[in-house]
Amino acid sequence: MPFHPSLPRIRRLPYPGDGARLLEAIAHRPWSVLLDSGGAGAGFPRGRYDLLCGDPFMTVVSRGGVTRVRRRDGSAWESRDDPLQVLRRVLGEPLAPLEGLPFAGGAVGYLGYELGYRLEGLPLAPVEPGTLPEMALGIHDWCVVVDHRETRAYLATRGRDPATARVWPDLVERFSRPAVPRESAPLRARAPLITDLEPQDYATRFAQVQRYIRDGDCYQVNLARRLEGATDGDPWRGYLALRRQSPAPFGAYLNLPWGQILCNSPERFLHLRHGAVETCPIKGTRPRGGTAAEDADLRRALWESPKDRAENVMIVDLLRNDLGRNCATGSVAVPSLFQVESYARVHHLVSTVTGCLAPGRDALDLLRGGFPGGSITGAPKRRAMEIIAQLEPHRRDVYCGAIGYIGFDGAMDTNIAIRTLVHTRGRIRFWAGGGLTHGSEQEAEYRETVDKAAALQALLRPG
What is the SS3 assignment for 63?
strand
Is residue 196 classed exposed, middle or buried when 0-12, 13-18 and 19+ CB atoms within 10 A define those classes? middle
In the set 114, 134, 283, 392, the catalytic residue is 283
Rounded-to-integer distance, Cα 394 and Cα 131, Å: 10
Full DSSP string of 148-206: TTTTEEEEEE---STHHHHHHHHHHHHTTSPPPPPP-PPPEESS--EESS-HHHHHHHH
Is 307 part of the annotated catalytic residue set?
Answer: no
Please list, residue by residue across 99-125, b when 16 or more beta carbons sit within 10 angstroms of its beta carbon and e when fewer do: eebbbbbbbbbbbbbbbbbbbeeeeeb
Q: Are 205 and 195 in contact (CB under 8 A)?
A: no
Rounded-to-integer distance, Cα 113 and Cα 88, Å: 20
In the set 24, 114, 267, 445, the catalytic residue is 267
What is the SS3 assignment for 86?
helix
Amino acid (1-letter code) at residue 187: L
* Residues taking part in catalysis: 267, 283
